[in-house]
A and B are shown apart, each in its own frame.
Chain A
């Protein structure tokens, strides 16, 4: 069974600084995908970034990058130049890429990020 662990219940960062949100995962499947979602206080779930297990390079999307270390089974989210609007809950999620997974995501517990001015 796959499992996602986010060990940081809360993180604080100063505006304009970079922050890393940790995510470790466990799966026996060789093919899988890793996702990060943002949930602001308004409650909606916003997709941020995706990394495939066979991707050679770390994924990047604007100020978001995914530090993928396959051997350590970690998929940390790095937010550069933090902004006040980055304050939110962040979820790491994983999907096994096989016919019977049907796109289901398994989520971690989430990390609340607070950006201070």
Chain B
């Protein structure tokens, strides 16, 4: 029972390179989220999805794109990485609905942009 799995766990990029983070869940949850964690700023929402084929912007969406072609997968893309995108990225899921319960998190992906 894997829960929420993020790949890769670590990545180093050069400025201007692109990459995709994959989040996969086996809990059949409707909602999925991408957060970034930076020192002193807690976790901030980048994008989220409330179901297959849907995406929406969060608090800090600039420089990122997302897709949810399958219910179990939520992809976060960086088209042209910048040093400001150096961060730890967390994927999370929740059941969905009005009383949707807690978020379940992946283990995080540490991205460094040089």
The answer on A and B forming one complex is yes
* Most-contacted residue by chain B among A95, A97, A98 (CB, 10 A): A95
The tally of residues in A whose CB lies under 8 Å from a CB in B reads 24
A29-56 CB mask vs B (1 if < 8 Å, else 0) is 0000001000000011101001000000
**Residue in contact with B99 in the complex, picked from A45, A93, A97, CB distance below 8 Å:** A97
A107 touches B88 (CB 8 A): no
B102 touches A50 (CB 8 A): yes
Give the residues in chain B near A99, CB-CB below 8 Å: 98
A107 touches B102 (CB 8 A): no
Give the residues in chain A near B58, CB-CB below 8 Å: 104
Q: A43-B108, A50-B102 are in contact. Are A107 and B31 (CB under 8 A)?
A: no
**Size bracket of the B interface:** 20 to 34
In the complex the two chains form, what is the Cα distance from A93 to B92 in whole Å? 14
In the complex the two chains form, what is the Cα distance from A35 to B90 in whole Å? 17
Does any Cβ of A come within 8 Å of B114's Cβ? no
Does any Cβ of A come within 8 Å of B18's Cβ? no
In the complex the two chains form, what is the Cα distance from A65 to B69 in whole Å? 40
| A-B CB contacts (within 8 Å), total count | 60
In the complex the two chains form, what is the Cα distance from A6 to B50 in whole Å? 29
In the complex the two chains form, what is the Cα distance from A96 to B107 in whole Å? 25
Does any Cβ of A come within 8 Å of B103's Cβ? yes
**Residue in contact with A109 in the complex, picked from B33, B40, B101, B107, CB distance below 8 Å:** B40
Give the residues in chain B near A104, CB-CB below 8 Å: 33, 45, 48, 58
Give the residues in chain A near B41, CB-CB below 8 Å: 109
In the complex the two chains form, what is the Cα distance from A35 to B103 in whole Å? 10
Give the residues in chain A near B105, CB-CB below 8 Å: 44-45
Show the binding face of B for A, using Cβ within 8 Å. 31, 33, 35, 40-45, 48, 50, 56, 58, 88, 90, 92, 94-96, 98-105, 107-108
Pick 7 A–B contacts, CB within 8 A, sort by A. Answer: A9-B40, A43-B108, A50-B101, A103-B94, A105-B103, A109-B40, A109-B42
Starting from the known contacts A50-B101, A107-B35, 8 additional A-B residue pairs (CB-CB under 8 Å) come to A43-B108, A45-B90, A45-B105, A102-B50, A102-B56, A102-B100, A103-B95, A109-B42
